[in-house]
Amino acid sequence: MTARPLRAIQQVQLGTVMSTDADARRTLQLLADAGFEGIELNGFMTRPTPMLVRALTRAARMPIGRGGRLDWPGLMAQSPLQVVALHEDLGTIERDPEAVIARAVQFDTDVVVVTGMYRFDYTDESAVRELAARLDRVGATLRAGGISLLYHNHNVEFRRLRSGRTAYSLLVSETDPAAVNFELDCYWPTAAGVDALALMRELGERVVLCHLTDRGTRRRGVSLTPIDKSDTVELGLGTMDIAGFIAQARTAGTRAVILETHRNWIDGSPITSFQTSADFLTTHLV
């Protein structure tokens, strides 16, 4: 029988409540108390963060906090949570794959995730093909060091190429499953008008990790206009088939389903938000 996926969370949701050692320890314990079993770390959040990265994440409404100054290997060694993966950018991996492998080993994880490309034209087919080749090369290097490489999508990969197919479909077909697989973020294809559950089924066992965020509207009193804005919401409070994604994750042998709701939290609290989503996860992943 296939083991069920772990219940995990992405570190980016937790930046504002992990800026000090005491806050980080408290939050990690609250996560375990809520039923989470794993956490996915970001390389840029586990070491001192350059000003440019902080500016870019603020612009993207991703509050990463100041936790990069903390001893993350030490924190995780004392936490009941397992590190399910480490996010790194492709350039960092290409420049020093040995250091990335060592960092992953330090966190006792064998998965590194590339989180998409900055200032990259996903409508340029030759550029997307070259990206697939780069992923294959670095994936083979990491594999030789015992590390698996995954690619994490956003919505830009679902732009159409001149041929009519999406950049994402090209990345899937042009990468070697022995070197590159996927962390499917179900929110972003849904936002791009793609049937994310059908895509997940098509990818099958290549979905090694799965990001879950629900999508809906949150009532805030009298509306300024007759249109509510869609945004991220806690699991089970939106319109996405979260239970369907979890069921497919079980079928495909996906290692972990990873919560990421990095804005629009209930009461403005990332902790209340993950505790609410945890109730849904523990109901559907027992």
Q: What is the per-residue pLDDT across 255-265, written as a single tens digit (0 to 9) for each?
A: 999 999 989 99
- Mean of pLDDT values over 266-277: 97
- Within 10 angstroms of residue 75's Cβ, the number of other Cβ atoms is 18
pLDDT reading at 101 higher than 90: yes
User: ∠ at Cα 239 (238, 242), nearest 5°?
Assistant: 85
**Least confident residue range of 57-61, 114-118, 227-231:** 57-61
- What burial letters (b/e) apply to 58-68, b meaning 16+ CB within 10 Å? eeeebbbbebb
Cβ atoms of 273 and 234 within 8 Å: the answer is yes
Helices (H), 111-267: 125-144, 167-174, 187-191, 196-203, 242-252
Do residues 39 and 81 lie in contact, with contact meaning Cβ atoms separated by under 8 Å?
yes
- Span 2-34, pLDDT tens digits: 689 999 999 999 999 999 999 999 999 999 999
C-alpha to C-alpha distance for 231 and 11, rounded to whole angstroms: 19
Mean pLDDT of 239-246: 98
User: Which 8-state DSSP code applies to residue 78?
Assistant: T
**Length of the chain in residues, anyone?**
286
Is the Cβ–Cβ distance between 285 and 7 less than 8 Å?
yes
User: What pLDDT score was predicted for residue 187?
Assistant: 97
Cα dist from 108 to 30, 84, 112, 122, 215, whole Å: 21, 9, 11, 33, 32
Distance, in Å, from the CA atom of 112 to the CA atom of 131, rounded to the nearest integer, reads: 17
> Looking at the domain that runs over 6-284, which CATH code has it been given?
3.20.20.150
- Which of 213, 82, 61 lies closest to 152 in space, CA to CA? 213
Q: What is the pLDDT of residue 229?
A: 84
Rounded Cα–Cα distance for residues 182 and 114 (Å): 9
Domain spans of the chain, in order of start: 6-284
pLDDT of residue 1: 46
Q: Rounded to whole angstroms, how far apart are CA atoms 228 and 264?
A: 13
For the stretch 118-167, pLDDT in tens is 889 999 999 999 999 999 999 999 999 999 999 999 999 999 999 999 99
Instruction: Tell me the C-alpha distance between 172 and 210, whole Å.
Output: 16
Q: Which candidate, 45, 43, 53, places its Cα nearest to that of 16? A: 45
Contact (CB, 8 A) for 28 and 72 = no
* DSSP per-residue letters across 13-44: GGGGG-SSHHHHHHHHHHHHHHT--EEEEEGG
